[in-house]
Amino acid sequence: MKTDTKLDILRRLPVFAGASTNELRQIASRVDEIDVPAGYTLTREGDRGREFVVLVEGSATVESDGRVIATLGDGDFLGEIALLLYTQRTATVKTTTPSRLLVMTDRTFRTLVDDVPAFSRRVWSAAAART
Could you report the per-residue pLDDT of 51-96, keeping only the tens digit for each? 999 999 999 999 999 999 999 999 999 999 999 989 999 999 999 9
Residues 6+ apart with CB under 8 A from 68: 61, 62
Cβ-contact 102, 53 below 8 angstroms = yes
Give the pLDDT score at 3: 57
Range of the domain at 76: 3-130
| Interval 3-51: pLDDT, tens | 568 899 999 998 888 888 998 998 999 999 999 999 999 999 999 999 9
- Which helix (H) or strand (E) element contains residue 53? strand 51-57
Q: How confident is the model at residue 103 (pLDDT cuts 50, 70, 90)?
A: very high
Query: Structurally, how many domains does the chain consist of?
Result: 1
Q: What is the CATH number of the domain that holds 59?
A: 2.60.120.10
CA distance 115 to 113: 6
Under DSSP, is residue 32 helix (H, G, I), strand (E, B) or coil? Answer: strand
Q: In this predicted structure, what is the pLDDT of residue 117?
A: 83
